[in-house]
Structure 1
Amino acid sequence: MTTYSLYELNEYIRRVMALNFPEAYWIRCELSQVKLSKGHYFLDVVEKGDDTVIAQSQAVLWNRDFKILQKKLGSDLMSLLQEGLEVQFLARVDFHERYGLKLIIEDFDTAYSLGKLEQKRQEAIRQLKHLDLLDKNKRNYLPPVVQRIAVLTSETAAGYQDFREHLAANTYGYRFDCQLFTTAVQGALAENEMLAQLGKISSKSAKFDAVVVIRGGGSKLDLSVFDSLELCKGVANLPIPVLTGIGHDVDESVLDLVAYQSLKTPTAVADFILHRNLLFENEMLNLGLAVQQFSQTILKEKEIQLQYLWRGIESQSMGNLRQHQLMLDYIAREIPHLTRNYLGRAQGQMEALEKICHLLSPEVALKRGFSITTRQGIPVVSIQQLSAGDEIETLLHDGAATSTIKTTQQ
């Protein structure tokens, strides 16, 4: 029985593979892990079937090939080197006696990855519609004045600086309170970081008027995170409006569809906010002008009414004064005549009373045959005042007589 050393076996495998795989092949797979070491990218690639890994291998993009592809693909290359992305690359099959099987990457097919991303994009849109989340954020209330802003972006992003500078340079004197929630906006960490920051914003949403999601543009692959279903769910469920300015002129991400308002660039978002605030200010100025004009109209109307009332009061007062003056003149003319009549009537009444008093006087009564009886100086008007033996005095018109009571009879 022939025995081989491990090296001999692996060396034999290397020669067999070199003979049977002499050229590069296009391979479809998913990047499960991406590591950078000394300028080289080491990749774990897998193929899944029914969410189960059915094939797995290792691949490497050497630094020299990376630089060549970087010139060819630009920023798309880094967008392709993301964990979880489905890619199609051109690779040579290499087997090393010590390190085993590796796929040496020479090129990428960006169209394939874009196609897969578009499939995921359409699936995300379908699910968002099914969950009634596509328009949910649009139903939030955006205040007429937006000043307290939560900004979700990378601190070093050029778009963030453009946004802040554009707001600060406004000529209207508006002030803004922008709080940065820093996050990666592309790459493998972007989705999780953005979801974490959305959670923080949601927990203190009462402090903000709106959320602004911005970045400084990029290719379709660069912007693939903004098609993430989970990220779009997070934005849709925020209780405050979200404004996006992701920096693309043609393509529209799923996040743009979900947001309260989608704009092309960070500067456009700043312009939208400034214009909204200016519109409110103009409405208030116009309202103030309308109130002023209305007040002036009311004051003018009331002034005319007061003038009319004044003239009426003045005319009525003059009429009343003339009427009272005539009455006073009449009274002045009548007082002497009325006084004489009154005094004459009073004189007649006094003379009549004087005659009555004379006729009713005791002297006249005595002359007419009446007498006045007194007992101890007190007039006697009742038999009850007298008793037998009392001495009484009777006054007549020409004298008086004294008598003694013998008996009394009722």
Structure 2
Amino acid sequence: MEHTLTVAELADLLGRLLDEAFPYGLWVEGEIANYTEGRNGMRWFDLVEPAPEAGRAPVARVAVVLFDDARRRVNALLRRHGGAVKMGDGVRIRIQAAVAFYAPQGRLQLRMTTIDPSYTIARLAADKEAVLRRLRAEGLTELNRRLPLPVLPGRVGLVTARDSAAAADVHRVFANAGYGVTLVECDALVQGADAPRSLVAALDAVTAADVDLVLVVRGGGARTDLAAFDHETVARAIAACPVPVVTGIGHEIDESVADLVAHTARATPTAAAEFVVSVIAEARGRLDDAVARIGPAARRTLDTATARLDGHHRRLGHRGDVLAQRHRHELDGRARRLVRVAATADVRAASHLDHLADRLARRSLSWVAGADRRLTHGSATLAARAERRLAAARRHLDAVDLRRRALDPVRLLDRGWSITRRGDGTVVRSTGQVTPGESVTTILADGTLTGTIEAVHPRRTPGADTEDEQ
């Protein structure tokens, strides 16, 4: 009868065979999946070989256990490499491990002893460069940058982890600016194997909400933590976004593929939010200047039109009076001449003179009647012409008044704008015009607000960006 092994004997045999086959352990590379933190500092995960097609099950998988003492050595090694690598799902690693058979669960597993950080860093750099080559070949690195920035963005999309420090930084910057911008926030995973898919979905959702531009931000971390922003699907989604995308990812030393395809990249979430605020501040400054110029110009135009209308009215009335007076003087003169001729005529020519006087009287009456008709017609014509001139002037005055009311600063105040003036009445157009402790008055549609400047925050230039503390 052949020798029969118990399950325990078989497990022990397999263990000894593996020890003999791999006495010094071996190096294995693969992608982390199902990373789990256990009690007593232990870690478990699977090391998988991903399928060539996205979304397919891995072609191979092996369980890995990392005991606490080995974990401490691995963490020390990672810190010596600048903390660029952090173990987690989706991270590609190269590890040294002993091959063992875990009898209680009847499975083969690797007992991890150390890691090769340079392998992971090199793989990240090579993958990033390969993605950039493909994007540049398709002309996608400049696609979003060609979009014009909105003149006055009122709705700003925000893609990040909802309760993260990066989200808090963006909200703080917009709250301090006080411009009343609507932030349309969409929660997204910003690290891990599922982060690329989550970021793309968030971008689609926020652009569907009719925003003027999108902020994509994340605080600093290990290079592996930021790997999602080097992913090709995320880069393509940003490049194809129908509105400008402003990124603020990591710290000042970090530059992701997402930064390189975005419209504008800033070093930190705070710097990205401050850039958007600076765009709004510049537009409001131009609007304040326009309001300051339009008001006096509209008043001058109205005063000029009113003066011209009064002049037309006076000239038309005066011309009618002069014409009537001229005809009256001419008729009076002819009548006086006729009386003098009749008084000095010879008696012998009385009948002849009477005849002539009768004829002259008839002609005079006829001429006077014609002159009177002409005077009446001329007066009517002048009156009609004056009325037309007055109507045209009134229409012009109404059009000027309509333009004045459309450009009236009070109507702009009714739309939600405000005007801030210093104590001497000058309009505040720049942070450089005021100093802390100075009193200012803000004019609103329904009244005024009087306050004191507590602090002045000039707009930062790109070179003045500072690192966010996460």
TM over 0.5: yes
Distance, in Å, in 1 between the alignment partners of 2:289 and 2:196 is 45
Alignment of 1:15-34 (within 5 A): 15-34=16-35
Distance, in Å, in 2 between the alignment partners of 1:273 and 1:283 is 16
Q: CA deviation at 1:278?
A: 1.2
Q: Could you list the per-position Cα deviations for residues 7-55 of structure 1 after superposition, in whole angstroms to 9, with x for gaps in the alignment?
A: 3233233234335544454322222443444453322223469669675
Q: CA deviation at 1:157?
A: 0.9
| CA separation of 1:243 and 1:57: change in aligned 2, threshold 3 A | same
Task: Quote the residue 2:128 is aligned against.
Answer: 121
The question of whether the paired residues in 2 share the 8 Å contact of 1:79 and 1:187 is answered with no
Distance, in Å, in 1 between the alignment partners of 2:146 and 2:323 is 70
Give the alignment partner of residue 189 of structure 2, picking from 184, 191, 216: 184
Equivalent position SS for 1:169: helix
Task: Quote the residue 2:173 is aligned against.
Answer: 166
| CA separation of 1:179 and 1:53: change in aligned 2, threshold 3 A | closer
Distance, in Å, in 2 between the alignment partners of 1:96 and 1:77 is 32
| CA separation of 1:69 and 1:13: change in aligned 2, threshold 3 A | same
| CA separation of 1:339 and 1:89: change in aligned 2, threshold 3 A | farther
Task: Quote the residue 1:383 is aligned against.
Answer: none
Distance, in Å, in 1 between the alignment partners of 2:350 and 2:159 is 110
Equivalent position SS for 1:28: strand
| CA separation of 1:67 and 1:335: change in aligned 2, threshold 3 A | farther
Asked if 1:9 corresponds to 2:16, the answer is no
Give the alignment partner of residue 243 of structure 2, picking from 240, 243, 253: 240
Equivalent position SS for 1:57: strand
Q: CA deviation at 1:196?
A: 2.4
Task: Quote the residue 1:393 is aligned against.
Answer: none
The question of whether the paired residues in 2 share the 8 Å contact of 1:160 and 1:216 is answered with no
The aligned length equals: 346
Distance, in Å, in 2 between the alignment partners of 1:345 and 1:174 is 101
| CA separation of 1:288 and 1:234: change in aligned 2, threshold 3 A | same
The question of whether the paired residues in 2 share the 8 Å contact of 1:76 and 1:222 is answered with no
Q: Could you list the per-position Cα deviations for residues 121-147 of structure 1 after superposition, in whole angstroms to 9, with x for gaps in the alignment?
A: 122222323444333323334321112
Give the alignment partner of residue 92 of structure 2, picking from 66, 69, 86: 86
Equivalent position SS for 1:80: coil
The question of whether the paired residues in 2 share the 8 Å contact of 1:205 and 1:240 is answered with no
Q: Which amino acid aligns with 2:92?
A: E
TM-score by length of 1: 0.69
Distance, in Å, in 2 between the alignment partners of 1:160 and 1:266 is 8
Moved more, 183-192 or 63-72: 63-72
Moved more, 338-347 or 191-200: 338-347
CA RMSD of aligned residues (A): 4.1
Distance, in Å, in 2 between the alignment partners of 1:127 and 1:217 is 26
Task: Quote the residue 2:47 is aligned against.
Answer: 45
Alignment of 1:352-371 (within 5 A): none
| CA separation of 1:338 and 1:178: change in aligned 2, threshold 3 A | farther
Distance, in Å, in 2 between the alignment partners of 1:47 and 1:343 is 144
Distance, in Å, in 2 between the alignment partners of 1:344 and 1:219 is 134
Q: Which amino acid aligns with 1:41?
A: R
Distance, in Å, in 2 between the alignment partners of 1:318 and 1:88 is 109
Equivalent position SS for 2:35: strand
| CA separation of 1:48 and 1:166: change in aligned 2, threshold 3 A | closer
Q: CA deviation at 1:88?
A: 1.1
The question of whether the paired residues in 1 share the 8 Å contact of 2:215 and 2:247 is answered with yes
Task: Quote the residue 1:221 is aligned against.
Answer: 224
Q: Structure 2: which 5+ residue stretches go unaligned?
A: 359-470
| CA separation of 1:71 and 1:331: change in aligned 2, threshold 3 A | farther
Distance, in Å, in 1 between the alignment partners of 2:52 and 2:357 is 140
Q: Could you list the per-position Cα deviations for residues 171-209 of structure 1 after superposition, in whole angstroms to 9, with x for gaps in the alignment?
A: xx410111221122112232222222223224x242x11
Task: Quote the residue 1:138 is aligned against.
Answer: 145
Q: Could you list the per-position Cα deviations for residues 324-359 of structure 1 after superposition, in whole angstroms to 9, with x for gaps in the alignment?
A: 8985885575353256479875524699xxxxxxxx
Q: CA deviation at 1:100?
A: 3.8
Q: CA deviation at 1:300?
A: 8.7
The question of whether the paired residues in 2 share the 8 Å contact of 1:60 and 1:104 is answered with yes
Distance, in Å, in 1 between the alignment partners of 2:350 and 2:107 is 153
Alignment of 1:7-406 (within 5 A): 7-38=8-39, 40-47=42-49, 56-70=61-75, 73=78, 79-83=86-90, 85-98=91-104, 99-170=106-177, 173-202=178-207, 204-206=208-210, 208-292=211-295, 330-331=333-334, 334=337, 336-338=339-341, 340=343, 345=352, 347-348=354-355
The question of whether the paired residues in 2 share the 8 Å contact of 1:76 and 1:221 is answered with no
Distance, in Å, in 2 between the alignment partners of 1:234 and 1:343 is 118
Q: Which amino acid aligns with 2:235?
A: C
Equivalent position SS for 1:102: strand
Distance, in Å, in 1 between the alignment partners of 2:350 and 2:140 is 109
Question: Which structure is larger by alpha-carbon Rg, 1 or 2?
Answer: 1
Q: Structure 1: which 5+ residue stretches go unaligned?
A: 352-410
TM-score by length of 2: 0.61
| CA separation of 1:33 and 1:350: change in aligned 2, threshold 3 A | closer
Q: Which amino acid aligns with 2:161?
A: S
Equivalent position SS for 1:270: helix
Equivalent position SS for 2:95: strand
| CA separation of 1:165 and 1:333: change in aligned 2, threshold 3 A | same
Distance, in Å, in 1 between the alignment partners of 2:236 and 2:293 is 45
The question of whether the paired residues in 1 share the 8 Å contact of 2:85 and 2:223 is answered with no
| CA separation of 1:17 and 1:314: change in aligned 2, threshold 3 A | same
Q: Which amino acid aligns with 1:86?
A: R
Higher strand share: 1
Distance, in Å, in 1 between the alignment partners of 2:314 and 2:356 is 54
Q: CA deviation at 1:214?
A: 1.0
Distance, in Å, in 2 between the alignment partners of 1:201 and 1:349 is 105
Distance, in Å, in 2 between the alignment partners of 1:343 and 1:153 is 121
